[in-house]
């Protein structure tokens, strides 16, 4: 039990589909993140939410649309994706502030775009 739960674990979608990834954290954190892990590339930060407000969009294409209705839930809405978007999408949460709190990651959603 990592405290950060992601669903689904695996997702296969066509380029014209619309789907959503869900993340829920039970750790009382106030910041949530989406990271992308592609083969042969370092993990890339996509979005940061702090107290439900988006504070970072790391030049992510608009076909990825995040939503954070509260500090415990985070979604990533997907539409008209490209095959190169196939990757492991990791959600994470943490406390904010300067105390150095580590990020706690979920198990990820393995996305395949066909």
Residues that bind other proteins (CB under 8 A): 2, 4, 31, 33, 41-45, 48, 50, 56, 90, 92, 94-98, 100-108
The secondary structure of 10-52 as a DSSP string is EEEE-TT-EEEEEEEE-S--SEEEEEEE-TTS--EEEEEEETT
| DSSP label at residue 100 | -
Min dist. Cβ of residue 84 to other proteins (A) = 19
**Pair 105, 4: CB distance under 8 Å:** yes
CB 77 to other proteins: min, Å: 21
Short-list 34, 37, 32, CA closest to 47 = 34
Residue closer to other proteins by CB (options 33, 64) is: 33
Judged by CB, which is closer to other proteins: 46, or 81? 46
Could you tell me the smallest distance in angstroms from the CB atom of residue 90 to other proteins?
Answer: 7
Decide whether 17 or 88 has the Cβ nearer to other proteins.
88
């Amino acid at each position: 039990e990592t405290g950060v739960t992601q669903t689904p674990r695996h997702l296969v979608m066509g380029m014209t589909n619309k789907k959503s990834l869900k993340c829920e954290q039970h750790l009382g954190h106030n910041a949530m993140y989406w990271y992308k892990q592609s083969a042969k590339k370092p993990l890339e930060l996509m979005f940061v939410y702090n107290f439900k407000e988006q504070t970072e969009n790391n030049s992510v294409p608009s076909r990825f649309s995040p939503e954070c209705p509260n500090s415990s839930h985070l979604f990533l809405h997907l539409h008209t994706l490209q095959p190169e978007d196939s990757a492991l999408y990791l959600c994470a949460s943490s406390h904010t502030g300067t105390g150095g709190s580590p990020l706690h990651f979920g198990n990820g959603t393995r996305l395949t775009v066909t």
